[in-house]
Amino acid sequence: MSERMESVRSVALGIWFKVGSRDELPEEAGISHFIEHMMFKGTPTRDARELSEAFDSLGAQQNAFTSKEATCYFASCIDESMPGVFELLADMVCNASFDEDACALEREVVTEEIARGEDDPEDQVYELFAKKIWPQHTLGLPIGGTRASVATFDQAAAFRFRNKHKGPRRRTRIRHSSCHRPCSFRRRNIRRGLRPRPRTRIRGSSRHRPCSFRRRNIRRGFRRRRP
């Protein structure tokens, strides 16, 4: 999907996957978030430093996030850098190598993130509330997982989950820029990554409904509004 914005020279580009922590088994809790980290740690043609330097050379800022229902890898840059930035994102999400040594280091990073979350009252209230609302569902599990589950993540587990849940049918490319058409979608720029698919009409779903509730409002619970 793309949207043209005539007033800007910049591009905001994202690759979204319709998969998040709700798609994990209890013993896999946190693996979507772990894979998000590992996507930046290198491919067969670029190591982590080379990926970072390649983004920097194009003047791009890149990042990612994982939620309960989606994962997104995104970058912003000037319009003339879009082909190169898209190729880098595509290489990351399609060809991540999940090196065992990098997995070991990243397990420690994620475990530290879990510890910081436990020290944050706001994060703790949110996790407790989710667990109370969905006690028997994976929506009630922490997005980052637990220390026990993270300790089991390795190269094989990462490849297994990615191959099962992050295939072409679950990918969506979103772009906002001044360009008429994302030239980076041409075959010569994406031969190692994503390939464009026919435009499809988005239909409503009982599983994913737009909601304007913010986290602080949801934590209050489901109260009946007074007349």
Catalytic residue, candidates 24, 28, 36, 87: 36
CA atoms within 13 A on the CB side of 26: 5
Structure tokens at 30: 């946190």
Distance CA 9, CA 184 (A): 16
Active site residue 36: yes
For residue 128, CA distances in Å to 13, 24, 111, 125, 148 come to: 34, 19, 19, 5, 18
Contacts made by residues 194-197, CB under 8 angstroms, sequence distance 24+? 194/15, 194/90, 194/93, 194/94, 194/168, 195/168, 197/168
Cβ proximity of 40 and 48 under 8 Å: yes
Distance CA 222, CA 58 (A): 47
Name the residues annotated as catalytic: 36
